[in-house]
Amino acid sequence: MSYNFKEEMNKPERLAPGHRMCAGCGGTIAVRAVLRALHEGDKAVIGNATGCLEVSTFMYPYTAYEDSYIHNAFENAGATMGGVETAYKVLKRKGKIDDTYKFITFGGDGGTYDIGLQSLSGAMERNHDFVYVCYDNGAYMNTGIQRSSATPMYADTTTTPVGSESNGKMQNRKDLASIIAAHDVPYVAQTTFLNNFKDLHTKAEKAIYTEGACFLNIMAPCPRGWRYPTEDIMEICKLGVETCYWPLFEVDHGKWILNYEPKKKLPIEDFLRPQGRFKHLFKKGNEDLLVQFQEEVDRRWEELQYRCAQ
């Protein structure tokens, strides 16, 4: 599908200004970009698991969303939106609703990878017609930058502090997109902020207008938690893709599709070096940690290439 991206990017905002998210927050950018994919005239119900986004865009009885909004606890956003979508179908069938509604839930990695995973898995397995969007900033940023299962290996967080006895988080990050794809849902995609947002916009629209359960995993850098200059967010995203730390792919009705392959895959150091949470990896004596990180990125990249080639 072809777009006039200038027109698409200038659509009326569905997330009002004046919220309390940090300057340069990746979560806010993700929300605005996803909601921009809604077609003119379509209404939406927005669900939101507890997290940075929720506490900063909603303060009862006020919300920054132009559409209907539901605040959820950490653990039940998937179940709530599944129930709302089911109720809508019943009311539509009875002729009590004529408008077209779309259902979109946002959650950070804490509420998606961890606390809300059971609820999300159930909603995906039941194939409710809604989109779950994870804005993945790689930690529990709202409560003080604690590690989550989305936190990369060797990251310095408040619960995996770097020091004489620790090199940061010791475990690899969870591959949630693959886990959701294993639920055999209609559409799963991984994306981030690049260039004119074409990849994100295209995938968001496809997810919103594909019937059934869909999932978007969006790398949404956090300048506070990742410790990089706020204005560098687009460069950080680009490096995440060019090093293959965060590859762009989709799983469309079971078919794995690689959306972008770097002409020259950059070393993982290029992605890690600008981030203060990884500064210890560049100290003398920690060379082997970089090697291990690179090996894990290479393993996952090769596995993804294999899946997409089948």
- Return the domain boundaries, the chain: 5-309
pLDDT of residue 6: 72
Distance of CA 162 to the CA centre of its chain: 26
Average pLDDT over residues 126-135: 98
- pLDDT at 1 exceeding the cut of 80: no
Q: Which residue has the tokens 């865009």?
A: 57
User: Residues 251-260: contacts with CB within 8 Å, 24+ apart?
Assistant: 251/177, 251/181, 251/187, 251/188, 251/189, 252/186, 252/187, 252/206, 253/186, 253/187, 254/184, 256/181, 256/304, 256/307, 256/308, 256/310, 257/308, 258/304, 258/305, 258/308, 259/199, 260/199
Report which of 109, 110, 152, 134 is spatially closest to residue 47, judged by C-alpha positions: 134
What's the per-residue H, E or C state across the chain? CCCCHHHHHCCCCCECCCCCCCCCCHHHHHHHHHHCCCCCCCEEEEEEECCHHHHHHEECCEECECCEEEEECCCCHHHHHHHHHHHHHHHHHCCCCCCCEEEEEEEEHHHHHHCCHHHHHHHHHHCCCCEEEEEECCCECCCCCECCCCCCCCCCCCCCCEECCEECCCCCCCCHHHHHHCCCCCEEEEECCCCCCHHHHHHHHHHHCCCCCEEEEEECCCHHHHCCCHHHHHHHHHHHHHCCCCCCEEEECCEEEECCCCCCCCCCHHHHCCCHHHHHHHCCCCHHHHHHHHHHHHHHHHHHHHHHHC
Q: How confident is the model at residue 3 (pLDDT cuts 50, 70, 90)?
A: low
- pLDDT at 2 exceeding the cut of 70: no
pLDDT of residue 310: 80
pLDDT of residue 191: 98
- pLDDT at 148 exceeding the cut of 80: yes
Tens digit of pLDDT for each residue in 239-275?
999 999 999 999 999 999 999 999 999 999 999 999 9
- pLDDT at 171 exceeding the cut of 70: yes
Per the model's pLDDT, the better-predicted residue between 23 and 147 turns out to be: 147
Average pLDDT over residues 38-48: 95
Mean pLDDT of the chain: 95
pLDDT of residue 83: 97
- pLDDT at 146 exceeding the cut of 60: yes
Q: How confident is the model at residue 28 (pLDDT cuts 50, 70, 90)?
A: very high
- pLDDT at 5 exceeding the cut of 80: no
Question: At a CB cut-off of 8 Å and minimum separation 6, what does 60 contact?
Answer: none
Per the model's pLDDT, the better-predicted residue between 3 and 288 turns out to be: 288
pLDDT of residue 8: 76
Fold of 5-309: Rossmann fold (3.40.50)
Average pLDDT over residues 198-210: 97
Query: Which pTM does this prediction carry?
Result: 0.96
Average pLDDT over residues 18-25: 90
Average pLDDT over residues 290-309: 98
- Buried/exposed code over 16-49 (b: 16+ C-beta within 10 A; e: otherwise): eeebebbebbbbbbbbebbbbbbeeeeebbbbbb
- Lowest mean pLDDT of 147-161, 193-207, 287-301, name the range: 193-207
